[in-house]
């Protein structure tokens, strides 16, 4: 998984939005928005991503997952690194100031800013509050995962790509 956060300027100040993306299917598995850049900004989507995978019946096995992030203080905090250790997730932190090190997440952040924030397809007018950013982000993430076609996934959506993969793993009841 890769993770990073970006900011959205609103009438009431900045809103920070953190995303976690499953690299295999380029699916946004969790996100969280808040008015501060405290560690909870990145902790909340991590807990959500873990819960989401378990809820869908595809939990990860401890020791099998890598959490790659930028080198910000939120991602190097003791609280996050301890939580990763408890969950059995290997931390991986990019080098300071190297956007290429976390290129997939930088791309997702760019798409989010272009498709959701600047074009305002998912919300009418300038964003005024955290709630408006959350509402628009929820719509964009849903659209991104279920309707946006990705050439790198064979022109499937992330959800379709994942479902095709999981379906291919089922061997019970199939004729030989």
The whole-number pLDDT of residue 100 equals: 63
Q: Model pTM?
A: 0.90
pLDDT digits (tens, 9 = 90+) for 112-140: 999 999 886 777 768 999 999 999 999 99
Q: Is the dihedral of CA 34, 40, 43, 47 positive or negative?
A: negative
The whole-number pLDDT of residue 170 equals: 84
Q: What residues does each domain of the chain span?
A: 2-169
Tokens 């920070």 belong to 16
Instruction: Round the average pLDDT of the chain to a whole number and report it.
Output: 91
Instruction: For residue 95, give both structure tokens.
Output: 């080098």
pLDDT digits (tens, 9 = 90+) for 74-108: 999 999 999 999 999 999 987 776 666 788 899 99
Largest distance between two CA atoms of the chain? 62
CATH class of 2-169: alpha beta
> What radius of gyration do the chain's Cα atoms show?
17
Q: With 70 as the cut, is the pLDDT of residue 176 above it?
A: no
DSSP assignment of 3-51, as one string? EEEEEEEETTEEEEEEEEEETTTTEEEEEEEESS-STHHHHHHHHHHHH
> Higher model confidence: residue 104 or residue 161?
161
The whole-number pLDDT of residue 175 equals: 64
Q: Is the dihedral of CA 54, 60, 62, 66 positive or negative?
A: negative
């Amino acid at each position: 998984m890769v993770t990073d956060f970006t900011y959205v300027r609103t009438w009431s100040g900045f809103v920070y939005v953190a995303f976690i993306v499953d690299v295999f299917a380029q699916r946004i598995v969790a996100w969280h928005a808040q008015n501060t850049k405290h560690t909870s900004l990145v902790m909340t989507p991590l807990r959500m991503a873990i819960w989401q995978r378990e809820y869908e019946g595809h939990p990860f096995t401890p020791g099998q997952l890598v959490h790659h992030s930028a080198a910000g203080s939120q991602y190097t905090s003791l609280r996050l690194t301890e939580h990763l250790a408890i969950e059995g997730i290997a931390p991986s932190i990019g080098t300071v100031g190297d956007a290429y090190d976390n290129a997939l997440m930088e791309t997702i952040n760019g798409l989010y800013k272009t498709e959701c924030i600047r074009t305002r397809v998912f919300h009418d007018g300038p964003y005024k509050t955290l709630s408006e950013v959350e509402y628009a982000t929820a719509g964009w993430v849903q659209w991104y995962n279920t309707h946006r076609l990705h050439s790198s996934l064979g022109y499937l959506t992330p959800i379709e790509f994942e479902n095709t993969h999981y379906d291919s793993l089922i061997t019970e009841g199939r004729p030989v």
